[in-house]
A and B are shown apart, each in its own frame.
Chain A
């Protein structure tokens, strides 16, 4: 232990344990203090925290836009916001919420929790992780700066052509939007790849496929959905930029292109996108329900099957966004059937969670309140979804406020409520303190009540014929009172979210200190410190069931190097220990590469030559990033403790 040789074969194990081990591991896995360490970190927890904070900032910004929209719509023929400004506002609201908040925050929770839940020391491809965060941040800043300068997108978050094409969308507004897509999609793809790698190869020994926590399963399915769906929208947005920049004819019907091509490509991504947002939410619910009912979720294999089925089916639904476009009716019948069918796995999952509560004594702590809020809200959203899966119903309801109500019920009920529950549940793990209980309950009540007040009325507004995406409406249509109620509800909802944020701020300083496992949960992330050390686990745990912390003992492995960053890889199905794998050290190249890529992307909005000249700095950054380093010597099999 006193040898100065940096390549000494120091291992975590019987000789080196406790505080001494902690000190050594912290030095190996920790970042240097200060700005340089902060910029160079590849610690998945620090990167995930940044993702979460940034995503919550975008949630707030998107929420402010929503309040502006509701203020404008509170009264008929209101002159508060001009048509152009309103069109930019609703386009930015959708874009911010979908691309800059919802997907990143769900992936961020995956990035934070998955390595901890599977019992490994780091995420796969940690430098790619850092790179993806910077790219996401720069893309988000780009589009928001554009919006604040009156160059924000104006054609909706979905940017249908020909409205978003070169003739009808003048200037660079839509180009900023299309390039923001490229930023966020590259970031999302990168994270998805890391998550799949971590889940398949870095699980703790003994964590067979049937012992993987349900949250990790949901992240696995989500990551695969990202990988298969994101390319469609990146392709579509690239074709749009190409049409607008260099006069290609992809979407020009007169020259043989097709306006419907955009819709197919966009919705082939767009429908899985909402499930990408929704599935991690389901994972949150499973984790919380298991803990507070003190038993594993009912019918685990069925739950996993439901997740996988939802992920697969999600790719067969996209034409239900296009029922009004005049495609053949027989084709529509298939998509109706598929859209109905996807209700089945979700229905099964709802049953299983309630069944978990049935046979136990659920502790109604604040995270469980969010679970109950989720069940009530999401089921309503899912049932209105069954309605609009039907073609005759959808042909009336499409593009009305009924649809707005539906997707807010499913996205907020199925995404945001679980998210807020997850934030409450994992806040102790991430920060070492508990979130305030009373403020938590108050924020739930305001959020839940405000949400229903806002969006339940929209079902009726839609049935009474109010179309979407209108900056104003005539008086005397019967919509006036309903819109006013929605606006009031929106402010109540905003208040609820504000109280939640206040709770976070207050609890960061003065919340009760949480131990390692304040909730008495079963999964591996609760086996380590709160907040976890940079190296996550002093010894790699081994699992013998799917509720490892509720077993008698938690065995662990020892034998990983202490002076080098080293992980244990296991086999994909049986999770038997396989090889030891070095993990990259902190590096500034992900940031540099992200800056170079940002330059390339933003420049290409203005000139096609950017693709040539702009790739040079990006190539240089990548070469320096991947420059080979001395590999650590591969070692022997680790010793089982």
Chain B
């Protein structure tokens, strides 16, 4: 009995991580005009494993990786993995960036994404710089790894002249 209670308490703290609530009103979360939803709602997206996963999918589907790199490493567009946020790194800031676009090339997705999708993407983008709870972020996708594998092999050396190799 006691163990059940203890487990329940531990697992209750997981409410946010396991939240999968779907919004019914597509424009409820900060679409046109930049209306921002209240802070507790935001937290659901930022810490929910499901929404982070959806954000990961949308990152590929909306071709964010085309400019920002596959893991947010940057390329044509600024890196999303570092601590530098040109236009702010809070959830609301990132949603606004996606919503209205920014100068120098960030397109506006106002008509292309629902509010919920923007919040999901914002949560994922924050996770790229390590700002999401570790246990909610999925460890990897079913795709090429962005990290080099741990290996014991020494880095390749060019052969010296006259030596067998």
Contacts and interface: CB of A to CB of B under 8 A. Distances in A.
Report if A and B associate in a common complex: yes
Contacts of A551: none
A606 B141 CA distance: 18
A151 B140 contact: no
A170 B50 contact: yes
B3 to A, nearest CB: 6
A254 B140 CA distance: 12
A162 B49 contact: no
B142 A162 contact: yes
Interface size class of B (residues with CB under 8 A): 20 to 34
Interface string B1-42: 001100110111010011010000000000000000000000
A145 B1 CA distance: 11
A244 B136 CA distance: 11
Contacts of B20: 84
A171 B139 contact: no
A516 interface: no
Given A84-B20, A171-B17, A172-B18, A166 B8 contact: no
B22 to A, nearest CB: 10
B135 A172 contact: yes
Given A145-B7, A149-B8, A171-B50, A243 B14 contact: no
A252 B52 contact: no
B135 A606 contact: yes
- Interface residue SS majority, chain B: loop
Contacts of B142: 162, 165, 167-168, 252-254
Interface stretch (B79-87, B103-111, B143-151, B153-161): B143-151
Contacts of A171: 14, 17-18, 49-50, 136
Interface string A301-343: 0000000000000000000000000000000000000000000
Contact of A149 (B12, B49, B135): B12
Nearest to B1: A141
Contacts of B3: 138, 141, 598
A243 B53 CA distance: 16
B18 A173 contact: yes
A285 to B, nearest CB: 37
B138 interface: yes
Contact of B139 (A162, A243, A598, A602): A243
A607 B20 CA distance: 22
Contacts of B147: 247
A494 B7 CA distance: 30
A142 interface: yes
B7 A255 contact: no
Interface string B112-124: 0000000000000
Nearest to A252: B142
A246 interface: yes
Interface size class of A (residues with CB under 8 A): 20 to 34
Contacts of A243: 139-140
A172 B17 contact: yes
A254 B7 CA distance: 37
A255 B50 contact: no
Contacts of A21: none
Contacts of A168: 53, 142
Contacts of A170: 49-50, 52-53, 138
A164 B158 CA distance: 44
B65 to A, nearest CB: 15
A210 interface: no
Contacts of B12: 149
B127 interface: no
Contacts of B18: 149-151, 171-173
A149 B17 contact: no
A146 interface: yes
A249 interface: yes
Contacts of A151: 11, 14, 18
Given A167-B56, A170-B53, A246 B14 contact: no
A245 interface: yes
B140 to A, nearest CB: 4
Interface in A83-97: 84
A166 B4 contact: no
B50 to A, nearest CB: 4
A134 B7 CA distance: 15
Q: Which of A142, A145, A146, A249 has the most CB of B within 10 A?
A: A145
A141 B8 CA distance: 10
A249 B150 CA distance: 12
Contacts of A607: 135
B156 to A, nearest CB: 20
Contact of A245 (B49, B50, B139, B143): B139
Nearest to A595: B3
Contacts of B8: 145, 149
Contact of A166 (B17, B141, B144): B141
Given A172-B135, A247-B147, A606-B135, A167 B14 contact: no
Nearest to B143: A254
A245 B139 CA distance: 6
Contact of B140 (A146, A167, A173): A167
Nearest to A143: B7
Interface in A568-619: 598, 602, 606-607
B53 A167 contact: yes
Interface string A119-144: 00000000000000000001001100
Interface in B48-106: 49-50, 52-53, 56
A255 B136 contact: no
Contact of A141 (B4, B14, B139): B4
Interface in A197-246: 243-246
A79 to B, nearest CB: 16
Contacts of A142: 7
Q: Which of A149, A170, A607 has the most CB of B within 10 A?
A: A170
A172 B17 CA distance: 8
A411 to B, nearest CB: 28
Given A84-B20, A172-B17, A167 B138 contact: yes
Nearest to A242: B139
Contacts of A167: 53, 56, 138, 140-142
A247 B7 contact: no
A85 to B, nearest CB: 11
Interface of B: 3-4, 7-8, 10-12, 14, 17-18, 20, 49-50, 52-53, 56, 135-136, 138-145, 147
5 contacts: A138-B3, A142-B7, A168-B142, A173-B18, A247-B140
Given A244-B138, A606-B135, 18 more contacts: A84-B20, A141-B3, A141-B7, A149-B8, A165-B142, A166-B138, A167-B138, A167-B140, A170-B49, A171-B49, A172-B14, A243-B140, A247-B139, A247-B140, A247-B145, A249-B140, A249-B145, A253-B142
Q: List the 7 closest A-B pairs by CB distance, nearest first.
A: A171-B49, A247-B139, A170-B53, A170-B49, A247-B140, A166-B138, A170-B50
